[in-house]
Structure 1
Amino acid sequence: MPKVLVVDDDPRMLMMLRRGLAFEGYPVLEAQSGTEALEKLRDHDVDLLILDIMMPDLSGLEVLRKVRTAGETLPVILLTARDKPQEHVQGLESGADDYITKPFSFDVLLARVRLILRKRTPETSELRYADLVLDLQRHQVCRGQRVLHLTPLEFKLVQTLLENPERVFSKPMLLDRVWGMEYFGDVNVVEVVISGLRQKLEQGGESRLIQTIRGAGYILRED
């Protein structure tokens, strides 16, 4: 399920959103300030941001501008208690995908969440980069004409990289996306799985696709 980051300085609103989204099956991260939200976005791979505008340190609009300036394209839903048309326009022009005025029905928010995520979901069942192909329907990965025999973790890792080619993933981000939020083991397990996956990807003498960016993480990129 897509991962959602909820940002609001009202603990009651955070609790309501966290419980409601979790009940629907969405993994939920939360933050109570704009600064904390940017930290969570840096350390975790997030699929949707639900962002309150009025916060004490960085406003939601400031957070949104920083996110868009950094080149992040994740969908953003703004929450606000203000209902002036010019504020709606300002939020949308800052890069928001949707705008919901408080108080609101959780069912309305949930419908907006589903609509936005459905628009972002690829219609194709095949992911491809260079000569690496992942078929979601067949649950199969090929490098050129070779079918790769991958573990479930390796398959999920390849899928994550193929969905975000030429994007750097830190070890914590890969742990979060591939292993899940409940994993609390050694972060170096990422290196072990990457090493084994590289051996399978390069077994036929092919070039390296999973590159190491020293001090940053890993990226799916051709030499």
Structure 2
Amino acid sequence: MRILIVEDEPSISNFLKEGLEEEGFAVDTADNGKQGLQLALDYLEEYDIILLDWMLPGMSGIEILRNIRKEDPAVPIIFLTARDTTDDAVFGLETGANDYIRKPFAFEELLARIRVLMRTKSGENSVFHYGNISLDVASHRVSKAGKNVELTQKEFALLEFLLRNKGKVSRRTRIIEKVWDIHFDYDTSVIDVYINALRKKLNDKNNESFIETIRGVGYRINDEA
């Protein structure tokens, strides 16, 4: 899952980015309105949720929201703001925000709201299956034959990415960009370590090759288990 944070306070932005990455999200940030809008529109199909400050230099959160809604009526957007009147909340929601959280807020509350939006996002599948393996994005759980499987945050994110792209070859460079959030030349051999860990934790004798290696290219989970 990928999140865009548009927030001009470095302490808040860095805190949210660190916390969300620890929860397994890939996170992009922008510290002004114009940059935030540009990122949102350039990569709108990539973002699962946008966290948007109301008061921003260059362009307000309301202006960004209106522009995004012209292109995508469905991407979940949560306002982060110190504006605390009922009229402000109603105005933000009527303009197109999905939720509204007042600063200061507890990270656990924001995370809970993100999980709720992930479950209710229009047209979004939050549970993925492959044979007897199930991955639930909202509850952040993986099970095999009904039994929970403990994965690290990065193992979970990697499995989610592969399942979202089931039937397609996921190139190593795209995996490192989307799962590790690295956008420059980088040794992609770290992917192999996590692929092997997933295979050990999820495979059995009847399902040894559910993650297929495409030599010289990347990995693929086939359409049919």
Q: TM-score range by the shorter chain?
A: 0.5 to 0.7
The structural deviation recorded for 1:137 is: 4.1
5+ residue gaps in structure 1? 126-134, 140-155, 163-171, 186-191, 198-223
Question: Retained in 1: the 8 A contact 2:6–2:31?
Answer: yes
Please tell me whether residue 29 in structure 1 is matched to residue 32 in structure 2: no
CA distance in 2, matches of 1:53, 1:119: 23
Matches for 1:154-169 after TM superposition, within 5 Å: 159-160=164-165
CA distances 1:44-83 after superposition (whole Å, capped 9, x unpaired): 6111100000012111111011000113521000011011
CA distance in 1, matches of 2:56, 2:91: 17
Q: 1:85 to 1:17 in 2, by over 3 A?
A: same
The AA in structure 2 aligned to 1:14 is: S
Please tell me whether residue 87 in structure 1 is matched to residue 93 in structure 2: no
Matches for 1:35-54 after TM superposition, within 5 Å: 35-41=34-40, 42-43=42-43, 45-54=46-55
CA distances 1:57-112 after superposition (whole Å, capped 9, x unpaired): 11111101100011352100001101111110111111111000111111111111
Q: 1:181 to 1:79 in 2, by over 3 A?
A: same
Q: How many residues align?
A: 159
Match of 1:122 in 2: 125
Question: Retained in 2: the 8 A contact 1:4–1:48?
Answer: yes
Match of 1:189 in 2: none
Matches for 1:151-190 after TM superposition, within 5 Å: 159-160=164-165, 176-177=177-178, 181-182=181-182, 184=184
TM-score normalized by the length of structure 2:
0.58
Instruction: State the identity %.
Output: 35
CA distance in 2, matches of 1:37, 1:9: 10
5+ residue gaps in structure 2? 134-160, 168-172, 186-215, 221-225
TM-score normalized by the length of structure 1:
0.59
CA distance in 1, matches of 2:30, 2:107: 19
Q: 1:26 to 1:63 in 2, by over 3 A?
A: same
Q: CA RMSD in A?
A: 3.5
The residue matched to 1:117 in structure 2 has which SS?
A: helix
CA distance in 2, matches of 1:50, 1:103: 14
